[in-house]
Amino acid sequence: MKVRKAVIPAAGLGTRMLPATKTVPKEMLPLVDKPVIQYIIEEAVASGIEDILIVTNRAKSAMDDYFDYYPELETRLNQAGKEAELTQVRRAADLANIFYVRQKETKGLGHAIWRAKRFVGEEPFAVLLGDDIMRAKKPVTLQLVEAAEKYDASAVGVQRVATEAISKYSSVKISPLEERIFSISDMNEKPAPSEMFSNYAILGRYVLTAKIFDLLEHLRPGYGGEIQLTDGLRELCFQDHMVAVDFEGQRYDTGNLNGFLEATIDFALDHPATGAWLKQFLQEKAAHL
Ligand code: G1P
């Protein structure tokens, strides 16, 4: 199983990050010096992905612009001898082959993924949710690709979450296969704690077979009146083998304010331009809190 394509759903309205996201797509908010979406694309590329489809909507054209060349700016940077900036600006545009499709109607994550049917064709493909940023030694998508190849199965990324938090996620019913890898036999979207299958929640990364598209096409609206990816995955795990990978790495939900701030601080501490300064700043700040 070779995974060459990825789909990034990025058509949400960003209602948890208003008012900033009224006109700036939440995927374009900067984490230190790069927009959120660039981290996701870099993870896909580092996992061997060559072609990436971003599912957007009418308010997100800043994303297409960001991954394009910008001749006037590049000429100016060149003339000013700003080589490092020029390299960074160019690099974003040359990261991958990026394609776009619009969701047109906000009908849920499952519907957004279904829009990728033509792009994907018959190949297995990765899904990286535009809100979920990972900080990991080995890219999380690569961890999933390896498990999918090993078991010739679809794979989803999971981690344990607190029982009180499970209703923000999908919960999976699992049995162990090997260290950090489980077989999945059922799942549900945003269960109440009394209805959850386990504390393992799906967290934003998937490797799927193209069979998911026919399943999504026939789904009825589920949780929140939306077409849910989880409902399609549930059907898929009944029909074919699906594994859960308890991935190694830290996941941040940048679609809400606290998660966004956590990611900003951790990435800024790791960044050579800001790390040492921020550490000192935080230590001084903490001493006076
Ligand atoms: C989505 C999925 C959910 C998943 C979560 C975290 O929910 O529907 O199954 O657990 O992402 O990746 P959302 O955060 O869009 O409400």
The DSSP line for 152-205 is TSEEEEEEE--GGGGGGSEEEEEEEEETTEEEEEEEEES--GGG-S-SEEEEEE
Beta bridge partners of 55: 9, 101
Is 128 a pocket residue for ligand 1 (Cβ < 6 Å)?
no
Q: For a pocket test of ligand 1, which of 8, 17, 109 has the largest count of ligand atoms closer than 8 A to its C-beta?
A: 109
Q: What distance in angstroms lies between residue 53's CA and the mean position of ligand 1's atoms?
A: 19
Give the span between the Cα atoms of 206 and 141, in whole angstroms: 7
Query: Is 170's C-beta closer than 6 angstroms to any atom of ligand 1?
Result: yes
**What residues have CB less than 8 Å from 199, skipping those under 6 apart?**
160, 161, 162, 163, 166, 171
Which protein residue's CA is at the shortest distance from atom 9 of ligand 1? Answer: 170
Q: Is the CB of 203 under 6 A from ligand 1?
A: yes
- Residue 174: per-residue pLDDT: 97
Instruction: Quote the pLDDT of residue 14.
Output: 79
Whether ligand 1 lies within 6 angstroms of the CB of 134 is answered as no
Beta-carbon contacts of residue 273 (< 8 Å; ≥ 6 apart): 33
Q: Among 20, 1, 68, which Cα is nearest to 255's?
A: 20
* 135 touches 267 (CB < 8 A): yes
Instruction: Please report, for residues 16, 31, 39, the alpha-carbon distance to residue 61 in angstroms, rounded to integers and kept in the order given.
Output: 20, 19, 18
Closest-lying ligand 1 atom to the alpha carbon of residue 255: 14
Tokens 């981290």 sit on residue: 39
Long-range Cβ contacts of 235-239 (<8 Å, 24+ apart): 236/154, 236/208, 236/209, 236/211, 236/212, 237/154, 237/184, 237/185, 237/186, 237/187, 238/186, 239/211
The count of other CB atoms within 10 Å of the CB of residue 91 is 12
**pLDDT on residue 172:** 97
Could you tell me the distance, in angstroms and rounded to a whole number, from the CA of residue 169 to the centre of ligand 1? 5
CB of 132 closer than 6 angstroms to any ligand 1 atom: yes
Buried b (16+ CB within 10 A) or exposed e, 138-162: ebbbbbbbbbbeebebbbbbbbebe
Element containing residue 214 per DSSP (H, E): helix 211-217
Angle between helices 257-270 and 275-287 (to 10 degrees): 120
> What is the reported pLDDT for 61?
87
Which DSSP state fits 68? S
Could you identify the atom of ligand 1 that is nearest to the CA of residue 230?
9
Residue of 27, 161, 202, 256 to mutate, ligand 1, most atoms within 8 A of C-beta: 202
Distance 283 CA to ligand 1 centre (A): 34
In angstroms and rounded to an integer, the radius of gyration of the C-alpha atoms of the chain is: 19
CA of 98 to the centre of ligand 1 (A): 23
| Closest atom of ligand 1 relative to the 169 alpha carbon | 10
Length of the chain: 289
Contact 242, 155 (CB under 8 A): yes
Check if 110 has its Cβ closer than 6 Å to any atom of ligand 1: no
pTM of the model: 0.94
What is residue 32's DSSP assignment?
T
- What pLDDT was estimated at residue 214? 95
All residue ranges of the chain with pLDDT < 70 are none
